[in-house]
Structure 1
């Protein structure tokens, strides 16, 4: 049983470090490792590191394998478009690789020794996989962005309801830029359509936000951007600084960095390339990866994916345990 109704969102790419997850867990909330973009072996290593830091329960989030019908010509054209950016940064654009995110190996490894919670993003697995995790004692959570997706995840133990305000990747089952309701409206819609407990996510960054989510019937609030600037976070220095930089004033949805809709601070790269990026995930992620890494190394915030929810200005650089305490103050 959690002491506080707060969930630290799984943030892929190294942001949800074992240190962050363990600190959140020790504070009485639920921390999540993000397994996206990692191999099964790397994910297992992070699980063991986290277990070495805390005996409290935590979760692991998996990306479902991409179902996108990839237009290779569109990806190649986008890669060509980025050649001047790459040349300026002294790198070459990347080339697409495997699209399954090491899914089979991760599922097999997690089933052999599961964490307390397992969540899924970009879709929901077959009932066989879900039941296998449940038989092993894991709580299974589906990320949904509509009432219809909630109905498709009928075998889940709980639903993470991600509203339009959420930072980083939209967890929709399909790679679409269509409208997603605000989290408060979506929680109401999903509670009407589904029987499972609901975790609210999207722009929730204060104790008042958490209390409001609970008043709407959610059992917890999931917060991601609120933890990005914590010292335990694995976000890059340039990313952390941008969240407090007055030069960045708003967020927007974009496929420019990964080929899937994601919310980030509006920087030059997002503004210039969003209109041309194809719906091709994870191919676009691979293409832009060398540019983003070079930008982060240079401290160039204009070419980095600065994922952020709409309440990004409220994120503090306090330790994670203090952030949990602040979020739970009114709960």
Structure 2
């Protein structure tokens, strides 16, 4: 019996500026039952240290996702013919309490994963990755991590707090959520507080690829190297902070840094995950108030589509 997968609402069925604002114009449901991949909004921004506003990210990314069509013309990837996908809405956060929100997010993802679904999440600030990784590690064990960001997010604390958007990957390694020797941080750059700011992850075994090492070249060879280290069986999580890209292409974010990756390099990284055992992904730190054109959110929606195309089992020609 042929499975009937959910399909995005077409642009000739309903104008793209009309209809329900679900991710990729897909059907919605209240939980992950029956899904291969669940699209989840996590509108938290009380873990951020600079410009707030990423709580509005999921809503705006959904609005801009109406422009994303169902096939990748280069790879011929067809995620909506390959997976049952739906938008299951947003995590119901406690907007006044960060630690309670962390627990709420973890419990929400425990439920999603209990249905056997994989997840693509949209933040929200990068703090949301920690509870998602906690839930993911319960399901899959410690994961390999591909982390795109301008910042290492491995501070020990910020203003005395051990959980913020700048500390999460230190906590993730300490809690054995991530295999440090299969952790890759790509796009780190600009100023810091000391010459050793990026060394903590390196000292745990992670490969740190500063943005300067990415300038003026394709990142496809890097991704070939990363796939060789991770292998085909290890569960992999992709965490993509939009500020890993240069603010000339993604100005709508809380902590923009010059000299970042190009949109092409961002796509190369995500497409380079195909062939890995990817079990989850996130796209975080989109702050719509800082880009009223909507271009940052539109870019985020397209990157999330590329993530869908890179999950194992997606039909694609190359």
Considering the TM-score relative to the shorter chain, is it more than 0.5? no
TM-score (norm 2): 0.33
Structure ranking higher in helix proportion: 1
TM-score (norm 1): 0.32
